[in-house]
Chain A
Amino acid sequence: MQKTLFVLLASLTLFGHQAFALSAKEIMGKVEANWRGKSSHAVMTMTIRKPEWTRTISMEYWNQGTTRSLIKILAPPKDKGIVYLRINKELWNYLPSIERTIRIPPSMMMQSWMGSNFTNDDLVRESNLERDYSQELLGEEKIAGYDSYRIQLIPKPNAPVVWSKIIAWIAKDTFVPLQEEFYDERGSLVNTLVFENIKKIDSRYFPRKWTMKATGKNEMTIMEISKIEVDIPLPPELFSLKSLK
């Protein structure tokens, strides 16, 4: 009798534990669910800081699901009117100075996007933090004032990922990423992406300031979202080559 009770208690504790603590995979599932809405429209500025110069580019952004997005450059005057259109894995670039649209070839995907610390590939990358990685919960930490999970993400074979490892810090309450570290195939840290200024938009949480820092270089790129609306209806023809002009 005593033995039976013990087993019962033990199994209760076990179940209880499972019921309250999330696995790393479940955490990333919640992150993706919060992150990916049906559609959004945002106005943002990108500030590139390098030792020799600092430059600010402002732009407007639309997206529909995870496969279609459009970025239109508003300033500075030299780049005004440049449009980037992403449809699935393809990236198109419209240049008003020559009134032409160019498909960015695969060989240029890893090049810097508009001189920033983001690459062209960052714009089209489809990788899903839940689906394309095997996750492992490394621990819990307080970072920038938030309680967070520290999770290691190792890409699965054949996943469309250039990194060998990502370490992500995920806020416990909102499931918003707070920081991500990207490691190359030799295992050294290449980039650190920090998310700040988390605001609630409709039912979802969204960081309004993203800072990408390159390790070992005195340079960074800061994305600040000044206006954002989510889950709004967008005309499908917005994401077509015709709308680039």
Chain B
Amino acid sequence: MRLLLKLVWRNIWRHRRRSLLNILAIVFGLGMIILMVAIQDSSHQQMIDSTINLGTGHIQIRAFGHYEDPAVDKLINNPSQLADQIKSIDAIRSITQRAVAFALLSSGRSSTGGQIIGIQPDKEFIIIPRRIISGSYLSDGDTNSVVIGEQLARNLGLTLGRELIILTQDYYGSVSAAKSIVKGIFRTGIPELDAFQVYMPLVAAQKLLAIEGVHEIVVKLGSPDNVETVKNEVINRIHNNKLEVMTWRELLKSLIQAINIDNAGGYLFLAILLIIVAGSLLNEILMSTLERTREIGILRAVGTSPAQIRLMIILESGLLGILGMVGGVVLGVALSWYFSVFPIHISGLEEAFEEYGLSPYITTKLTMINIVLSSGFILIVSLIAGIIPAYRVSRLSIVKALRFA
């Protein structure tokens, strides 16, 4: 076996330049794949973070069925008690209550459909306060103020200090209406929010809807890592089978699907690279075995079994793969690290990015899955590329091989 490994090593370095070029191709290919996936992962993480900060949070408690069909009468009746029960969980950073309902919004001149969200301004973590473009955010004492999106304000012809008329159905199914003063206008860059949502104090929303409970208790964690563990802890503590506890993964199903589709594009890129690597390796191994036909004939003649010959060829290809893989991982990790420390600034587009709640920097997020998956595939492909020439060579007749010119 040691002899075999020695042979493999010598065979690789027989054509030093050819082998080095092959290894370098793998190194650069793998390095780029790892960097590209890291950039993709980082932009996906940004999308998830921004959605979480726009209101979803990490964990939500709702009455059973409210997520599927958000009816006004699907209520959490004792929200403050529940919040007290879970607030001592270490991982939880903030807990806030919300009441939500669909409403007809009107300025008197024109009207449109929208969603009202009753919030607790002092406990809320949403990004809206940092996205106010005129006026100010809700404060705790407000009862009759609303904060609306820029597009909604434009659609209804509303400016600061003007009256917004909200028409909705209360808990009893009766028509309910309120007049509120526009205190602030926000811009998130997300059309569904800017043209659709009205934030008002929770008490005002409860009065409008004739309810005492709330629809959502939204929990934000310090770090999203242990969200499933925290979810189970929350379920244990509230111990109420009429309530549903959901993590952001369950709440943002469509976002996660979109990310998966984007990832599929990344895998396609990886597949193309793998085919190129496989072709180049196959070429090298076929060439070198053809050159060595007589040598292999001699090996066979002195008693080397076909299986040993096969193993030798596969190991040659595999060793090239391993060398390339090690170099590729080093390059990929180094590049990813570099761009996470020194992100690429996209100049000229800062405002557009900020409007959408994204940072105008391209940065990276390196995950173990990324490294293991990318390098694992390279290794498997390099071993497979050795199989074809290995079988071809092992089936040579000794006499013909020895006479090969």
Residue ranges of A at the interface with B (Cβ–Cβ < 8 Å): 48, 52-53, 55, 57, 78-79, 82, 93, 95, 97-100, 102, 112, 114-116
- Which of B171-179, B252-260, B274-282, B350-358 forms part of the interface with chain A? B171-179
B210 touches A (CB below 8 Å)? yes
B165 touches A (CB below 8 Å)? yes
Bound CA span A79–B165, Å: 17
Contact of B177 among A52, A53, A98, A114 (CB under 8 A): A98
B73 cross-chain contacts in A, Cβ below 8 A: 52
Tell whether, in the assembled complex, residue B174 and residue A114 are in contact, meaning their CB atoms are under 8 Å apart: yes
B167 touches A (CB below 8 Å)? yes
Q: Which of B159-195 contact A (CB under 8 A)?
A: 165, 167, 169-179
Once A and B bind, how many residue pairs between them come within 8 Å at the CB atom? Answer: 40
Given contacts A78-B170, A98-B178, A115-B169, 6 further A-B contacts (CB under 8 A): A48-B172, A52-B73, A57-B174, A79-B174, A99-B179, A116-B173
Bound CA span A41–B165, Å: 33
A-B contact pairs, 9 of them (CB 8 A): A52-B73, A93-B175, A95-B175, A95-B177, A97-B176, A97-B179, A114-B174, A114-B175, A116-B173
The 8 closest A-B pairs by CB, nearest first: A115-B173, A115-B172, A95-B177, A98-B177, A114-B174, A115-B174, A97-B177, A98-B179
Which of A48, A52, A114, A115 has its CB near the most chain B CB atoms (within 10 A)?
Answer: A115
Bound CA span A82–B167, Å: 13
Contact of A98 among B165, B170, B172 (CB under 8 A): B165
If A98-B165, A102-B167 touch, does A82 touch B172 (CB 8 Å cutoff)? no
B173 cross-chain contacts in A, Cβ below 8 A: 112, 114-116
Tell whether, in the assembled complex, residue A53 and residue B175 are in contact, meaning their CB atoms are under 8 Å apart: no
For B75, give the chain A residue with the smallest CB separation: A52
Which of B73, B176, B177, B179 has its CB near the most chain A CB atoms (within 10 A)?
Answer: B177
Contact of A53 among B108, B167, B172, B179 (CB under 8 A): B172
Which of B167, B171, B173, B175 has its CB near the most chain A CB atoms (within 10 A)?
Answer: B175
B174 cross-chain contacts in A, Cβ below 8 A: 57, 79, 114-115
For B111, give the chain A residue with the smallest CB separation: A102
Tell whether, in the assembled complex, residue B172 and residue A55 are in contact, meaning their CB atoms are under 8 Å apart: yes
Q: What is the CB-to-nearest-CB distance from B113 to chain A, in angstroms, rounded to a whole number?
A: 12
B169 cross-chain contacts in A, Cβ below 8 A: 115
A79 cross-chain contacts in B, Cβ below 8 A: 174
Bound CA span A95–B208, Å: 13
Q: What is the CB-to-nearest-CB distance from A49 to chain B, in angstroms, rounded to a whole number?
A: 12
Q: What is the CB-to-nearest-CB distance from A57 to chain B, in angstroms, rounded to a whole number?
A: 8
B176 cross-chain contacts in A, Cβ below 8 A: 78, 97
B210 cross-chain contacts in A, Cβ below 8 A: 78
Tell whether, in the assembled complex, residue B165 and residue A82 are in contact, meaning their CB atoms are under 8 Å apart: no
For A93, give the chain B residue with the smallest CB separation: B175
Q: What is the CB-to-nearest-CB distance from A104 to chain B, in angstroms, rounded to a whole number?
A: 9
Q: What is the CB-to-nearest-CB distance from A106 to chain B, in angstroms, rounded to a whole number?
A: 15
Bound CA span A208–B179, Å: 38
For B73, give the chain A residue with the smallest CB separation: A52
A97 cross-chain contacts in B, Cβ below 8 A: 176-179
Contact of B165 among A52, A57, A100, A112 (CB under 8 A): A100
Q: Per-residue 0/1 for B2-35: is the Cβ within 8 Å of any A Cβ (1 yes, 0 no)?
A: 0000000000000000000000000000000000
Bound CA span A114–B175, Å: 6
Q: Which of B97-154 contact A (CB under 8 A)?
A: 108
